[in-house]
Amino acid sequence: MTRRAILIVLDSVGCGALPDAGRYGDEGSNTLLHTAEAVGGLRVPHLAELGLGHILPLPGVPPVEKPLGSYGRMAERSAGKDTTTGHWEMMGLVLDRPFPTYPHGFPPQVIEAFSRAIGRPVLGNVPASGTEIIARLGEEHLRTGYPIVYTSADSVFQVAAHEEVIPPEELYAICQEARRLLVGEHGVARVIARPFVGRPGAFRRTERRRDFSLPPPQPTVLDWLLEQGQPVWAVGKIEDIFAGRGITQAYHSANNQESVDLTLKLMRTVEGGLIFTNCVDFDMLYGHRNDPAGYARALEEFDARVPELLAALRPGDLLLLAGDHGCDPVTPSTDHSREYVPLLVAGRAVRSGVDLGTRPTFADVGATVGHWLTGRVPPAGRSFWPEVAVAREKGEAVEACGSTT
């Protein structure tokens, strides 16, 4: 039987503040709960059937008598609360210190070096919401042609430019210059290109965003899988997050629906390996804009696609749905929040209704993926495959690797 793993990350879908959330200013955050409360209850019947309502009390999502999947939540062991850190930890790379952040903007030596590299001054250089800073500085950008630089509470160097002033391909080249410069002490997790269009008073960001991440400082489970002969198919911004490392082929997407479409296409066509997908709309369009209604709508739209994903599963498929951090849309902050994330596991070889409890690290996901695909457990994390495997599969897995730690 050919085995595949399909891992879909619901970007920013957190489920409650971690014990150390107060250190990050996130005490009391709970993305799923507060979103559900804000709209009078979520309508996600298919995620509920998989076991979502067993992970936390959630308005509109009661526990079901017989969940179709297994369920739990995961704590982030790494320092930080950004997308790169969360995804890297899932693939076995745990960071002992967070990426640098710039609550007062980037220091002069960084901005001066960047301006010299691109041959023009910049506007902004402040922490800001992307939509707000474009509204504030967009007209000056149109007049001068200077790119807008901004950051947030996350480790990001963002560059916004109107597509008629700095075309996207030129903006990507500018961001690559920033990525080349931002290493070492100022090695931010991501440089992000933020193209926008429109006229003053009606600017809007486009779907041509690109992320330029630092390469992982050491091999991840993705590299390990390739060494084991298992291909890795990356959907959405996965290739960007891992700087292209450990990827067989990448498919970029414009939104959640296209990410699901591409995932289903791969599920119908590829043989073996890991299909690794990021659905970014929850975070980018709604969490960062403090829009709980939009966040709830995006969850419900994803939920409507779950039956398609389940129907596309083959006997040798393992489906995992997980978050990578929080982004509570009802708190005053527009930034990520330090939270537990949900974990749902399904497939024909998966026992239903298994409570996986609280996993101590996101790395358990990568350990389980590796265990399922190869019969061996990667170096980091603890595989929960023996906990969810049906009896016959459990015996085969234990016999194959001899250990689950």
CATH label of the domain that carries residue 360: 3.40.720.10
pLDDT at 128 over 80: yes
Asked if 202 and 224 sit in the same domain, the reply is no
Asked if 266 and 322 sit in the same domain, the reply is yes
Q: What is the pLDDT of residue 391?
A: 60
Asked if 246 and 387 sit in the same domain, the reply is yes
Q: What is the pLDDT of residue 397?
A: 44
Identify whether 103 is part of a domain: no
Tell me which residue has tokens 């479409």.
261
Identify whether 315 is part of a domain: yes
Asked if 241 and 153 sit in the same domain, the reply is no
| Rounded distance between C-alpha atoms, residue 215 and residue 130, angstroms | 25
pLDDT at 394 over 60: no
Asked if 318 and 380 sit in the same domain, the reply is yes
How many structural domains comprise the chain? Answer: 2
- Does the predicted model carry a pTM greater than 0.85? yes
Closest CA to 248 of 267, 269, 222, 219: 222
Least confident range from 95-99, 310-314, 333-337, 396-400: namely 396-400
**Which of 176, 194, 210 is at the close of a domain?**
210
Identify whether 191 is part of a domain: yes
Asked if 377 and 275 sit in the same domain, the reply is yes
Give the model confidence (pLDDT) of 67-77 as tens digits: 999 999 999 99
**Which of 210, 237, 258 is at the close of a domain?**
210
Q: What is the pLDDT of residue 390?
A: 84
Asked if 192 and 177 sit in the same domain, the reply is yes
Least confident range from 105-119, 261-275, 378-392: namely 378-392
Average pLDDT over residues 209-217: 92
Give the model confidence (pLDDT) of 10-55 as tens digits: 999 999 999 999 999 999 999 999 999 999 999 999 999 999 999 9
Q: What is the pLDDT of residue 154?
A: 83
- Helix H segments across 44-106? 45-50, 83-90
With 0-12 / 13-18 / 19 or more C-beta atoms within 10 angstroms meaning exposed / middle / buried, residue 349 is: buried
| Rounded distance between C-alpha atoms, residue 301 and residue 150, angstroms | 31
Quote the percentage of the chain above a pLDDT of 70. Answer: 96
Asked if 120 and 175 sit in the same domain, the reply is yes
Q: Write the single-letter amino acid at 93.
A: L
Q: What is the pLDDT of residue 305?
A: 98
CB atoms near residue 308 (< 10 Å): 14
Asked if 276 and 338 sit in the same domain, the reply is yes
What are the beta bridge partners of residue 321? Answer: 8, 344
In which order are the strands placed within the sheet that holds 355-359?
249-251, 232-235, 273-279, 4-10, 317-322, 341-346, 70-74, 355-359
**CATH number of domain containing 128:** 3.30.70.1250
Asked if 199 and 218 sit in the same domain, the reply is no
Q: State which residues form the domain around 123.
A: 108-210
Average pLDDT over residues 345-367: 97
- Helix H segments across 56-121? 83-90, 108-118
Give the model confidence (pLDDT) of 147-199 as tens digits: 999 998 789 999 999 999 999 999 999 999 999 999 999 999 999 999 999 99
Identify whether 271 is part of a domain: yes
Q: What is the pLDDT of residue 392?
A: 53
Q: What is the pLDDT of residue 97?
A: 86
Asked if 376 and 253 sit in the same domain, the reply is yes
Q: What is the pLDDT of residue 399?
A: 33
**Which of 162, 183, 210 is at the close of a domain?**
210
- Helix H segments across 270-319? 281, 292-311
Identify whether 309 is part of a domain: yes
Asked if 159 and 202 sit in the same domain, the reply is yes
